[in-house]
A and B are shown apart, each in its own frame.
Chain A
Amino acid sequence: MTTEARRKWSTFAWTALTYILVFLLVFPVLWMALTGFKTEIAAISVPPILFFQPRLDQFLLAIQGGFGAYLFNSVAAALVSTAIALVLGIPAAYAMVFHMSTKSSNDMLFFVLSTRFMPFAAILVPLYVIVTRLNLLDNLFVLIVIYTAMNLPLIIWMARSYFLELPKEVLEGAWLDGCTTFQTIVRIVVPMAAPGLTAAALLAIIFAWNDFFFAVTLTYTNSPTLPIMVAAFTSNEGLFLARVSALATLIILVPVAIGIYAQRYLVQGLTGGALK
C-alpha cells in the first residue's frame, strides 16, 4: 500500500469508528423510541425484534390517563419559572456588568455560582417544613418558585457573559441620550443580547422540565409533572414496556429538541462561562 492509500484508509477507519461509537451512545434512546411503536408482546421478545409493523396504539394509550394534566404542570412550571428568572436575572446581570465595581461584581458572581452548587437535598428539609406549614404542599406554585431559584444563577451568569461582550459605545450613547436604565435594558441590551438570552432561557426550560427531585418530594400527589407520571406509571401498573417507552419518548422530545437547537450554548450554560 502506498502512503497515500494508507492515509485514506486510516481517515476512513477513524470516521467509521466515530459513526459507530456515536450510534452506540444514542442507541438506548433510539431503541426506546422504536419500542414505543411495538406491541407489548413484541417489546419483551427475546431475541429483540427489529422489523415489525409499527403501530401508534402505545402512544395513544400513553396520552390517556391524565397525560394532559401532567403536561400542563410541566409546561407551566418550566415556562413561568423561566420567565420570572429572566425578569429577575437580566437586571442583575446588567448591574453586575455596567454598574457595579469589579470587586462587588465578582462577589456577586461568586454568590450566584455558590447557590447553584448547594445540594438540593440540604434545603429539602426546611423547604418541606415551610411548604407544609404554609399549606402549599402539592401546589404547582411551589415548583415554580423553586425552579426560578434553580435557574436564576444560570440566567445571571449567561446574561452576564453576553453583556460583557456588548460594544460599550452603543450603551454610552444610550446613556448620553438620556435613556433611563429601564429603557436601556429593554430597548438596547436585551435586543442585542437576544440570541444568548434565548439560549439561556431554553437551557432553563430543560432544567425545569427534567427535574425529578422537587417534583417527587413536594408536588407528587396533586400537581405532578411528566417525569412523575413515568415513575408512578411503572409502580402502579406493572411493566408495560411498549407503553412506557412511548410515554418516555414523548417526554424527552422537548429537552432533546431544545438542546440540539441550543447546542452551542450548552457548555457555557453549564459551566458559567468558564469555557466558551
Chain B
Amino acid sequence: MSQTNQAVQVPVLPDKQKRAVSTVPPGERRTWLHLPALVYMIVLTQIPFLLAVWFSLHAWNLLVPSEGFPFVGLTNYVTEFVRDVNFWPIMGHTLELVAGAMILALVAGTILALLLNRPMWGRSVLRGIATVPFLVTPSVMALIWKNLFLSPSSGMINWLLHFIGIPAVPWFSAFPLQSIIFIVAWEWTPFVMLVILAGLQSVPGEVLEAAKVDGANAITTFWRVVFPLLRKPYQIAILFGTIFIFQTFGEIYVTTSGGPGVTTNTLPYYTYRAALSSFQIGQAATLGVIGVVVAILAARGMLRLMTERTASERG
C-alpha cells in the first residue's frame, strides 16, 4: 500500500496542462479496450445461459444415456409449474428466506447504523468490528452457528434459554428454515448497516440529533424525518440484499442439505440438486432459467435506478 501511495505523485505534466484546456475533449473515440472484458463476460455468462435455455427445451438425464437428448419443447416448464409437487413449496421457501432474512437484517442494520452514527469514543473501530459477520466465509460460519450455538445438546442458545425455563430446542429439526434465515440475517445485518450509515452522512446533523437524543420521540422522529431522507439507501440495500440473499447456498448445504424433506430447499439449491444429485440436466436447466427470470424481475428496478445516475456524473 505504501508503494502505491507514493506512485500517486507520479503524474507531473505541468506545461501541457495549460494547453490542454483549449483542446477538444478526447472522449468518444473508437476503442476496443472494453472488448476483452466484454467477450470474457459474454462467454462465461451469456453463452452458458443460452445453453441453459437450450437444455431446458430437452429431456436429458445423464444417468440414462440411452434416452438421448430429445427435444421436448416447453414440457420441462409445464412439468415444473404443474406436476412437480416440490416446485411451489420451494418457491415459497425461497420467498420466505429472502423476505425473512432481508427484513431482519434491515431492522437490525438500521438500529446499528443509527447507534453507530452518534459521535462516541472508538466509533470507527466499532464500525469495523461490526462488519465482521459480513466478511466471514458464509459456509464456514453457518457450520459454526449450527454446532456451537444452535446444537440441541451443547449449543449456547439453548443453554441461555434454560435460564428462562425454555427446554432444549432442536433448532435445525424443529425450525430448519427459520434457523437458516436467522444465520443469513446475521450475515447481512452489517451490509444494511454500512449502506444506511453511508446514507446518514447526507442527512443534516441537527435532524439526527433531534431524531435520536430523546428516548420516546426518537422513533416518531425517525419515521417522520430521517426515514424519508434515506429512501435511496434503503432501495439500494433492499435490491442488492435481495439479489445476493437469493443466492444463499453454502449455509443450506452445510447445515441441513436442504432437508428435512425439501423444507430448506430454495430455488438455487433445488437447481443444484437436480443437476448434481439426480443429474436431470433438462430439469435443472429449466429451474436455472426460471431463477434468472425471477432475478431479472427483481433487478430491473435497481439497474434503472443506478444507470440513471451516470448521466449526471459524467456531465
Q: Do A and B bind each other?
A: yes
Residues of A within 8 A of B (CB): 7, 10, 14-15, 17-19, 21-22, 25-26, 28-29, 31-32, 35, 43-48, 88-89, 91-92, 94-96, 98-102, 105-106, 108-115, 117-130, 145-146, 148-149, 152-153, 156, 164, 168-177, 181, 187-188, 191-192, 194-195, 198, 206, 209-210, 212-213, 216-217, 226-227, 230-231, 234, 239, 241, 244-245, 248, 251-252, 255-256, 258-260, 263, 266-267, 270-272, 274-276
Given A15-B118, A118-B292, is A176 in contact with B154 using a C-beta cutoff of 8 Å?
no
- The residues of B that contact A181 with a CB separation of less than 8 Å are 33
- The residues of B that contact A7 with a CB separation of less than 8 Å are 213
Beyond A17-B115, A146-B44, 10 additional contacts (C-beta under 8 Å) are A92-B33, A101-B27, A125-B52, A169-B17, A212-B139, A227-B250, A241-B147, A245-B144, A258-B135, A275-B236
Q: Which residue in B4, B51, B136 is a CB contact (below 8 Å) of A198?
A: B4
Inter-subunit contact B247/A120 (CB<8 Å)? yes
Most buried by B among A45, A120, A188: A120
Complex alpha-carbon distance, A172 and B292, angstroms: 42
- CB-based nearest A residue for B279: A128
- 11-53 of chain B: CB within 8 A of chain A: 11, 13, 16-17, 19-21, 23, 25-34, 36-38, 40-41, 44-49, 51-52
Inter-subunit contact B45/A118 (CB<8 Å)? yes
Complex alpha-carbon distance, A156 and B139, angstroms: 27
Among B77-85, B169-177, B220-228, B283-291, the one that faces the other chain is: B283-291
Complex alpha-carbon distance, A101 and B311, angstroms: 11
Complex alpha-carbon distance, A149 and B127, angstroms: 31
- CB-based nearest A residue for B4: A194
Place the interface of chain B in its size category. 35 or more
Inter-subunit contact A88/B121 (CB<8 Å)? no
Inter-subunit contact A19/B126 (CB<8 Å)? yes
Complex alpha-carbon distance, A93 and B196, angstroms: 27
Q: Which residue in B45, B133, B269 is a CB contact (below 8 Å) of A149?
A: B45
Inter-subunit contact B137/A122 (CB<8 Å)? no
B180 within 8 A of partner (CB): no
Inter-subunit contact B11/A170 (CB<8 Å)? yes
- The residues of B that contact A121 with a CB separation of less than 8 Å are 247, 249, 267-269, 271-272, 287-288, 291
Inter-subunit contact A102/B310 (CB<8 Å)? yes
Complex alpha-carbon distance, A15 and B120, angstroms: 7
- The residues of B that contact A44 with a CB separation of less than 8 Å are 153-154
Shortest C-beta distance, A88 to chain B (Å), equals 4
Complex alpha-carbon distance, A81 and B172, angstroms: 36
B90 within 8 A of partner (CB): no
B1 within 8 A of partner (CB): yes
- The residues of B that contact A145 with a CB separation of less than 8 Å are 44
B307 within 8 A of partner (CB): yes
- The residues of B that contact A192 with a CB separation of less than 8 Å are 8, 10-11
Inter-subunit contact A194/B138 (CB<8 Å)? no
Inter-subunit contact B141/A99 (CB<8 Å)? no
Inter-subunit contact B4/A170 (CB<8 Å)? no
Inter-subunit contact B281/A125 (CB<8 Å)? yes
Q: Mark B122-162, 1 if CB is under 8 A from A, else 0.
A: 00001111111111111111011101110001101001000
Shortest C-beta distance, B132 to chain A (Å), equals 5
Inter-subunit contact A117/B37 (CB<8 Å)? no
Shortest C-beta distance, A6 to chain B (Å), equals 10
Shortest C-beta distance, A22 to chain B (Å), equals 5
Complex alpha-carbon distance, A112 and B305, angstroms: 15
- The residues of B that contact A100 with a CB separation of less than 8 Å are 27-28, 31, 34
Complex alpha-carbon distance, A177 and B236, angstroms: 42
Complex alpha-carbon distance, A195 and B120, angstroms: 28
Inter-subunit contact B137/A48 (CB<8 Å)? no
Q: Which residue in A25, A106, A226 is a CB contact (below 8 Å) of B189?
A: A25
Given A119-B268, A121-B272, is A15 in contact with B295 using a C-beta cutoff of 8 Å?
no
Complex alpha-carbon distance, A212 and B187, angstroms: 15
Complex alpha-carbon distance, A212 and B255, angstroms: 13
Given A124-B275, A191-B10, A241-B147, is A99 in contact with B27 using a C-beta cutoff of 8 Å?
yes
Complex alpha-carbon distance, A146 and B44, angstroms: 7
Shortest C-beta distance, A208 to chain B (Å), equals 11
Q: Mark B288-311, 1 if CB is under 8 A from A, else 0.
A: 110110011001000101110111
What are 14 A-B contacts with C-beta separation under 8 Å?
A: A18-B120, A21-B111, A28-B145, A99-B30, A123-B49, A123-B288, A129-B281, A152-B40, A152-B41, A212-B137, A213-B247, A252-B140, A259-B134, A270-B240
Inter-subunit contact A230/B115 (CB<8 Å)? no
Closest 5 CB pairs of A and B: A212-B250, A172-B20, A259-B135, A173-B16, A149-B44
